[in-house]
Structures are given as C-alpha cells and as structure tokens.
Amino acid sequence: MTRGGMFMISTDVDPDADMIRPVSPRTHKGCEECLRLGTPWVHLRLCLTCGHVGCCDSSPMRHASAHFHFTDHPIVQSLEHGEAWRWCYAHENYV
C-alpha cells in the first residue's frame, strides 16, 4: 500500500509480530541460496525470526517467500538501502 510513492506502515498489530526477534543477517553478500546456486537476485529480504537473507518475489528464485513456506517464519524486512518496511507473508500486510 502506497500513498504518494511512500510506503504506508500499518498501525494495526500483526498477529505474527511476536515472531520478530533481534536478528543479524546471516550474510551481507546476498541471497544465501542464490550465492550457493550461482543464480541472480533483484532485491533482498531479511527474515526477522532467524536472520535468513533471501531474494524477493521479483527475483527468479523467490527464496525469501520459499523460506517462509518452509519454516513458517512470517515477517521479513527489506534489506534495500533507504527502505525500512516489513512484510508479513502469512497475513499479506505491512507490519
């Protein structure tokens, strides 16, 4: 959801917000799986439960959402410079 090109953060508390932990990215080099496979990525997402770094759904392999489906870790944060938004895959909303 955007307004005037700016992301609007939901003021409602997401039911999965309690899954957010203080994490550090497990790598600063890129998408963990893409680095192993030698595949490209577009943007990076940080799992706020375990620190997994995966590629976005615009990337060919979509590793961040695959990580959610495999682990049930629902909330990611953008790792792109200048972006601070968070997304809940389970509820499909900004957190």
Check residue 24 and report its DSSP letter: -
How is the chain split into domains, by residue range? 1-11+31-39+49-95
Task: Check if CATH label 3.30.40.10 holds for domain 1-11+31-39+49-95.
Answer: yes
Is pLDDT of 12 > 50?
yes
Is pLDDT of 5 > 60?
no
Q: What is the pLDDT of residues 30-77, one digit of tens each?
A: 999 999 999 999 999 999 999 999 999 999 999 999 999 999 999 999
Q: What is the pTM of this model?
A: 0.86
Neighbours of 95 (CB within 10 A): 21
Which parts of the chain fold into alpha helices (H)? 32-37, 63-71
Burial 40-76 (b: 16+ CB within 10 A, else e): ebeebbbbbbebbbbbbbebebbbbbebbeeeebbbb
